[in-house]
């Protein structure tokens, strides 16, 4: 019984470690890209566009296309990561 309790902390640590399967770089990208997509969605195309909104979009969206392409290449064999990344449009930046 004493050994069973000694294993509990290890089990708890393993459970916590597997609760977020996304690598750190993927998590950072998805957080930034989600902000980008939210801001893009707020622009209706009607009326005057707020300059602050454009600046925010440029901040969060700049480099997103390349970052997504790089992550897709890096995690080519990781299905959970690819499933998450494939939710995003591959090309959103003006060329």
Q: How far is CA 27 from CA 14, 21, 68, in A?
A: 19, 10, 12
pLDDT tens by residue, 29-59: 999 999 999 998 887 666 667 888 889 999 9
Alpha helices in 1-95, H assignment, sequence order = 2-17, 24-42, 51-61, 64-74, 79-85
Judge whether residue 72 has pLDDT over 70.
yes
φ, ψ of residue 14 in degrees (nearest 5): -65, -40
Cα 78 from Cα 95, distance rounded (Å) = 30
The pTM of the full predicted model, rounded to 2 decimals, is 0.73
Token reading at 47: 């009326």
Judge whether residue 13 has pLDDT over 70.
no
Give the pLDDT confidence score for residue 47 in this predicted structure: 65
């Amino acid at each position: 019984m004493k050994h069973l309790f000694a294993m509990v902390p290890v089990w708890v640590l393993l459970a916590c470690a597997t609760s977020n399967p996304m690598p750190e770089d993927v998590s950072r990208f998805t957080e930034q890209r989600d902000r980008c997509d939210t801001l893009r969605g707020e622009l209706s195309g009607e009326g005057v566009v707020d300059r602050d909104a454009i600046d925010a979009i440029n901040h969060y969206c700049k480099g997103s296309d390349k970052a997504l392409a790089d992550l897709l290449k890096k995690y080519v064999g990781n299905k959970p990561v690819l499933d998450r990344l494939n939710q995003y449009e591959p090309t959103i930046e003006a060329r």
